Amino acid sequence: LSNLEDNLDSQNFVLSQQDDTHTATLPIPNSPSKIIVYVDMDCFYVSVAISQKPYLEGLPLVVTPSGRSTGTSEVSSASYEARKYGIKPRMLVSEALKLCPDLEVLPCDFEKYSKVSEKIYQIFMK
């Protein structure tokens, strides 16, 4: 989302974050009101992974920076199916696998996230 945040900042958007919720507001010139855009980007990394590999839809899935299921790798994003097992972002993948042995573990794809966030930004600007 860093590209999105940089672009929104350049357009005078005011970004705020509370928990996993990001809010962008854009002041409207000569108007006392403003537009508030709420976008639920929860599971963004997982959603991007599923768009590339649709056969993963409906499976418990996590995305990690390393893509490894050993060591101290942490969950960056967890699908809703994985969350049913108690798996959460920032949890060690080794702990997540204890909760759900059939968990799919994928590596982060920051280049793809950047491209998708840019497309989202373009939609906001329309």
Predicted confidence (pLDDT) per residue in 79-117, tens digit: 999 999 999 999 999 999 999 999 999 999 889 888 888
On the CB side of 115, CA atoms within 13 Å amount to 8
- Pair of tokens at residue 116: 């998708």
Name the pTM for this structure: 0.66
Cα–Cα dist 29/126, whole Å: 17
Cβ(91)–Cβ(73) below 8 Å: no
- Dump pLDDT digits (tens) for 21-53: 555 555 556 666 666 777 777 788 999 999 889
DSSP state of 92: B
Cβ(74)–Cβ(90) below 8 Å: yes
Cα–Cα dist 61/58, whole Å: 9
Q: How confident is the model at residue 66 (pLDDT cuts 50, 70, 90)?
A: confident
Instruction: Estimate to the nearest angstrom the gap between the alpha carbon of 69 and the chain centroid.
Output: 20
